[in-house]
Amino acid sequence: MAIKDILIHVDNTKACARRMELATRLAVRHEAHLVALFARAFGNLPNLSSGHTREIDKQREESKARFEELARVNGLSAEFRVAECQSSVDLVTDNVLINARHVDLVILGQHDEDQADGSVPPDLAESVVLAGGRPVLVVPYAGKFEKVGERALVAWNGSRESVRAVNDAIPLLVDAKRVSVLALNPSDGGRIHGDLPSADICLHLSRHGIRAEAQMLSARDIDAGDMLLSCVADDSADLLVMGAYGQPRFREMVLGGATRQILKQMTVPVLMSH
């Protein structure tokens, strides 16, 4: 169980440079091949002119130069791919999905409404998480994240999605200084969680060399997303691991409430699996 190839989506947002640096550090740490995919649409952009097209070309070349320099300095096996989707923003999602299915980890940016220009679908992360079949590390647009996985919080409820997320996260957790596995509002009488919620999954992690602490929190009058974000802050966590809940329906992503809230309000990188 190892991360040997990573895909990062590259765009023209201010946060992309920091996302590239994070992806580079992870690739170095795991000795992984790093693929950067510059994917954006032109057809949905208003008032597209030759000057605008030249600006997009400039952004692409600047992104490529930055990525190739990071790869060179760090001695990485890397490649820069381009998918310019002239007609539809939906093709951006399709291209990311095609490339995502051949790697161990996908790194995407959180949607930033203030930076949105119609070139990247606002639900790109949701779409790739639910339809890509690979774990997705979503990086907040605000903040700089030097370390990911040193202090991790795992959201655990015994579901299929939760199981996938925990096991997909193992390569990121093996060197962690602290891993907390949090069972939120467990109330199944031991049917899913066992006698001590999250204890069994902590034992599973221990067999992979991960020392994890079982935690339980009951607060039914507080939204699950708010609870998770609060626990991330209380633990000074630098990574949240959780299952993503929802269904892809045509071009609309129907998400569970906590998943949607975390994607909108995340404060640290979030590893999601579906």
213 with 193, same domain: the answer is yes
Distance, CA of 217 to CA of 74 (rounded, Å): 42
134 with 156, same domain: the answer is no
Grade residue 46 by pLDDT with cuts at 50, 70 and 90: low
Pairwise pLDDT comparison (196 vs 251), residue with the higher score: 196
155 with 69, same domain: the answer is no
End-to-end CA distance of the chain: 18
DSSP state of 222: S
pLDDT at 219: 74
Domain annotation covers residue 146: no
Number of domain units in the chain:
2
What the block records as the tokens of 62 is 């600047």
Domain annotation covers residue 228: yes
Q: Residue 14: which residues within 8 A CB-CB, separation 6 or more?
A: 115, 141
162 with 260, same domain: the answer is yes
133 with 162, same domain: the answer is no
131 with 160, same domain: the answer is no
Pairing of strands 136-139, 270-273: antiparallel
What the block records as the tokens of 187 is 């109330």
Coil, helix or strand for 151? Answer: strand
Task: Give the residue from 85, 108, 139 where a domain finishes.
Answer: 139
Domain annotation covers residue 65: yes
129 with 226, same domain: the answer is no
Task: Give the residue from 92, 110, 139 where a domain finishes.
Answer: 139
Residue range 17-40: mean pLDDT, rounded: 97
pLDDT at 136: 99
Distance, CA of 16 to CA of 185 (rounded, Å): 36
| Phi and psi torsions of 78, nearest 5° | -155, 160
CATH number of the domain where residue 200 is located: 3.40.50.620
What are 239's strand-pairing partners? 152
Grade residue 47 by pLDDT with cuts at 50, 70 and 90: low
Contact 255, 245 (CB under 8 A): yes
Q: Which of 3-12, 184-193, 227-236 has the lowest mean pLDDT?
A: 184-193
Pairwise pLDDT comparison (157 vs 256), residue with the higher score: 157
95 with 178, same domain: the answer is no
135 with 10, same domain: the answer is yes
- How high does pLDDT run on average in the chain? 89
Domain annotation covers residue 132: yes
Contact 162, 200 (CB under 8 A): no
252 with 225, same domain: the answer is yes
Domain annotation covers residue 237: yes
53 pLDDT more than 60: yes
Strand residues in the chain grouped as ranges (E)? 5-10, 33-41, 78-85, 105-109, 136-139, 151-156, 178-184, 212-217, 239-243, 246-249, 252-255, 270-273
pLDDT at 175: 95
pLDDT at 254: 57
Contact 92, 83 (CB under 8 A): yes
49 pLDDT more than 80: no
244 pLDDT more than 80: yes
41 with 105, same domain: the answer is yes
Domain annotation covers residue 130: yes
Pairing of strands 246-249, 252-255: antiparallel
162 with 84, same domain: the answer is no
Grade residue 141 by pLDDT with cuts at 50, 70 and 90: very high
Contact 119, 52 (CB under 8 A): no
Domain annotation covers residue 145: no
Residue range 206-225: mean pLDDT, rounded: 90
* pTM of the complete model: 0.92
- Write out pLDDT tens, residues 82-131: 987 666 788 999 999 999 999 999 999 999 998 888 889 999 999 999 99
Grade residue 193 by pLDDT with cuts at 50, 70 and 90: low
- Tell me the residue range of the domain where 194 lies: 151-273
pLDDT at 119: 86
Residue range 239-260: mean pLDDT, rounded: 75
Task: Give the residue from 139, 165, 191 where a domain finishes.
Answer: 139
